[in-house]
Amino acid sequence: MLNNFLGEILSWLFVILAFLLASVKTVKPKYQKVSVIIPAFNEEDTVARVVEVVKKAKYVDEIIVVNDGSSDNTAEEALKAGAIVIDHVENKGKGEALWTGYNQAECDIIAFIDADIHNLTSKKVEAMIEPILSGKTEITKTKFARESGRVTELTAKPLLNYFFPEINFEQPLSGQFAARKETLKKINFEKDYGVDVGIVIDADVLGISIMEVDIGAIEHDMSSLEDLNLMANEVVRTIMSRANKYGRVIMIDDIGYYIRMSIVGLSLIILGLFTIFFVKFIPLSIGVIISVIGIIMSIYYLVKVIVQSIVIFKKSPRGNLFKSFVKIHFPLIISIILLLLMLSTFIGAATFENGAISIEPNSRNLIIFADNTNSTISVRGPYTVDTAIENESSQVRIPADAMITLGISVNDTVVINGNTYLVNETRHGESDILRLPIDVKSALEVNDGYIIQNSRLGDVFNGVIVNHHFTKGNYTFIENFIIHSRSNETWNYEVIVDNESVYNSTGLFKANNVYSIYIDGSHVKNIFYNGSAIDNLNFTYNGHVVNIKFKYSNSSSIKQFMSSDNGAFLNLYFK
């Protein structure tokens, strides 16, 4: 009884499943027919072979051979192979042959294939058609390895690069291509060998998607020099006629000249500004005159560029015109950006005080092999002076990059005008803000809003005493130095305790000066710098073997170590 019940349930499930499957409507993609057009002129040796290969290819519904006035058995061979043959009484040219086949074709997609290809395969034909069937593109053109291509490399590519720089196909004259029939209605077919490049240019300018498909090696009959000369002339004529039609001659010639002159004007403005602000030996009036001439030139020719560009843009099909505009105008765009950046720098550095406008340009600073850092390259500053935070009159907040430049760190102390201040880090979001108490700003002769370049930090803090703190394991060091003008006459010293390197630093020692070393607050040793050498120290303290090694460094530093006349050079504390 249970078996009968299960069988009945399964039967109902099969019925329901069949009903659901029957109710589902399957939408089949619309079938797209494909025609292959083969233009042929005296190709009796190869045309049949090409037709046979095309017949084996998938998707092909119709093969049309256009016999373009052949004097041999081209038409007969094509008919035997199974193609539809359309005859031209006389030779009209490749473009006319393609046009005839295109008009006679009744399919949705049309592929054009030369009749003299010796190694054509059905895979090569399918590779041309598949991207269009799948909706990836509207036109496909082929690229392939071959021995020839002289007209392409010596004629077509240079002219296309000049007038249509956005077109960068490897083989714009490949000869084999496919397209939707509706798309080809927008294309102007040339009557001769210019048809290939004409289709490429029209598609580009009109914004029609075109894909270059690699079909591998192709073996063509090698053309004679006479034929190549004819082909080159027809290709040149086609490119030049399209360049005139789409305004590219004016774009390159007239607009190109205006762009060059605009760049000259912008360059003169930049040159004038540099002479005004950075070149001392050139009179101010000369810099002003250069800038004024540049302003007049740039405005005049920029207006010309804009007006002519608008005229061309209105007359030409949109398509990929914008890409060409960008490429052609690119040098001008870069010059304008450079000038705007320069002007924004000057405007940002302008101050108005006591009825006078002053501009102090400030750059960021590229630091390579900075002192005592693991980073070999960094960009620092500029830093803006601002008021100290309320209740922080006994400390200074210094940006991390500025600390590196000054050789100090958080929790160090600095002595400015006899007063001691604790060094603290900047607040979040104030990476380049230097917050100083009123007394410090007065001593350093800076005000709120004052801009300090990284390279000028040493000058602003010149003479400030620094008590630099460093802790490693069981050892704490306090290194005392004065911020001084930068010098390369530096020495590096390394502290080794019980055969362990615990500290090293680089800075300046003044010739004929004594420097004191303290341990746990007690004076233990002095060193003397005679201007050429410093003797290494080796001694024992409370059972610890201490070695201090000195080595000439020749690296850059603004740290001048404190001599014994002013206090301790180095304090070492054991925990």
Q: Where in the chain are the domains? A: 34-244, 249-353, 365-460, 465-574
The yes-or-no verdict on residue 319 having pLDDT over 60 is no
pLDDT of residue 1: 47
Q: What DSSP letter does each residue of 411-451 carry, written as one string?
A: T-EEEETTEEEEEEPPPTT-TTEEEE-HHHHHHHT--TT-E
Per cent of the chain over pLDDT 90 is 40
In the chain, DSSP finds a helix count (H) and a strand count (E) of 17, 27
Alpha-carbon span 528 to 494, nearest angstrom = 16
Which residues fall within 8 angstroms of residue 484, CB to CB, at 6 or more apart?
458, 462, 463, 508, 558, 559, 560
Nearest residue to 493 (alpha-carbon basis) of 453, 544, 553: 553
pLDDT in tens, 430-447: 989 999 999 999 999 999
- Reported in sequence order, the residue ranges of 54-138 that DSSP labels E, i.e. its strands, are 60-68, 84-88, 109-112
Q: What is the mean pLDDT of residues 281-301?
A: 90
- 107-141 pLDDT, tens digit each: 889 999 999 888 889 999 999 999 999 889 999 98
Section 100-108 average pLDDT = 89
pLDDT of residue 565: 86
Q: What's the confidence (pLDDT) of residue 161?
A: 77
Q: Top-level CATH class of 365-460?
A: mainly beta
What pLDDT is recorded for position 173?
A: 80
- Spacing of C-alpha 574 from chain mean position: 54
- Asked whether this chain's domains 34-244 and 365-460 adopt the same fold, the reply is no
**Mean pLDDT within 157-176:** 79
Tens-place pLDDT, residues 216-263: 877 776 667 777 787 888 888 888 888 777 767 666 667 778 888 888
pLDDT recorded at residue 28 = 38
Residue 370, pLDDT score = 52
Mean pLDDT in residue range 379-397: 89
Class of domain 34-244 (CATH, top level): alpha beta
Answer whether 466's CB lies under 8 Å from 460's CB: no
Per residue in 328-374, pLDDT tens?
677 778 888 888 877 777 776 666 655 666 666 666 666 665 555 45
